[in-house]
Structure 1
Amino acid sequence: MSLDKVVPTPAAAVADIADGASLAVGGFGLSGIPWFLIGALLEQGASDLTVVSNNCGVDGAGLGLLLERGRISRVIASYVGENKEFARQYLAGELTVELTPQGTLAERLRAGGAGIGAFFTPTGVGTLVSEGGLPWRYAPDGTVAVASPAKEVRTIQGRDMVLEEAIVTDVALVRAAVADRAGNCVFHAAARNFNPVAAMAGRLTIVEAEQVVEVGELAPDAIHLPGVFVQRVVPLTPEEATRKSVEKRTTRPRPPASAALQEASAAAIT
């Protein structure tokens, strides 16, 4: 494979994603999500998608857009609380949902990328996670149509642990702060989140990068994701690179300045 993995546009990068594909998608809430790859996939039209992501976007943004168009049929996630349409579809029996503890989800993705078929973890032992019975899909009348199966539990080093299977997907969509033309990636701060492990889990991994540099410009010790996991890199324009949102903006009124500070400010002005 050529070291130059750059693809000119998001549309070209996702053009061959087929109906029924499984996708691992980076991000946490709206932090670090691949905005433009998701938008291109929305326009491309693939449907009946299985999505593996920490959450499924929010109403009107991110993966929530694919959800609103009825393009997602199954979700494997750890958190869905910010998306009312997600809850509606799930409770109405329109969507299959496999809720997974957050750390377990991250490790399932990482294990898939590392070639590990399954692993044991104490997380979830003694709950519906291990014993089965979590509602994966509801019937229209509100009864449980499909429930999670029981999982193997084994005592290891004196502690009960549950067997969790690794996740490998057809495609991974992620966002990086910087990538070189060979696909080596650097993520920024909180936007690192699920992006590296999602990238590892995809058989075909597509990265949208805020900045693309030449091979050799990234210090080896600075690389968070080696290019061996990446097949396509989409450079964003400077304007696109600035698109970063949060789910909620919370502020409080600025407290009044103290009398001494007000006097000092007045004196400085005069």
Structure 2
Amino acid sequence: MDRGDPNGTFFEKLRYLRFTHRGLNNQMHTYAQIAEHVTRVTGRRCGEKTIERLFTPGVTTKYPSEERLAAILSLFGKTPGDLEARGDPSGTFGQRVAHQRYLFAQQKRNGKPPSLEEIASFIRDRTGRSCSASYVSQLLCDRVPHGPARDKIEALASFFGVSPAFFFTDEQSQAVMDNEILLRVIQDFIDALYDLVTIRVESVVDVVDRGKPTQVGEFSQLTEMMRAAIAEARAEQLLSASREQVMPG
């Protein structure tokens, strides 16, 4: 029998409550009994199968409504706040964010965690970029492809009053820094290429002939070449303009 986990996922916590908070004769509440309780408390019919899906491992990922969840937990003498994730200060990125959210609630909100929209709104204001409650939820579940951008990580850290490094292991921090460096180098390369095209199209052929850059060093080397070509072209333009000015009309 799956006894659940008091520190696990939402559904693992539900199973743990059912296993540990028993009814008469130390028997676990049946799915039918839980469904009857929910129907009585909410005044809305709740089927046994609905409850069974919630308490059966791997059957559903759909959360119950707030009203129904509160009714289920009342049978075990608990509230939705009791299921709030505490996270793990040494776990994944999402677990570390969850841990900070839990600490924030305990230290500043009398146990009430900041809403996902509140966090998203702070990130939007701090970065000037889009961020939704759904995005924050994905962060907590480690479901953001390639991880969050550096400015959003810094905004998160500012919200919770911690260093951005808190959210990473040393290896993860290095990977994030390497990715940021590569992005900056590529952007410099693109900017230089654009400037070169607007000044001297034929010089772009020299870059193309060297092949497509793939490493940071290659991007940087080609960027330096383009910047040198741009400086040379601009010098030639100034010299040509100067000659035109001194020529007799």
| TM-score in same-fold range (> 0.5) | no
TM-score w.r.t. the length of structure 1 is 0.21
Between 1 and 2, higher relative CO (CA 8 Å, sep ≥ 6) is seen in 1
- Tell me the TM-score normalised to structure 2 length: 0.22
Q: Which has the larger radius of gyration?
A: 2
Greater helix share, 1 or 2? 2
Judging by fraction of residues, say which structure has more strand. Answer: 1
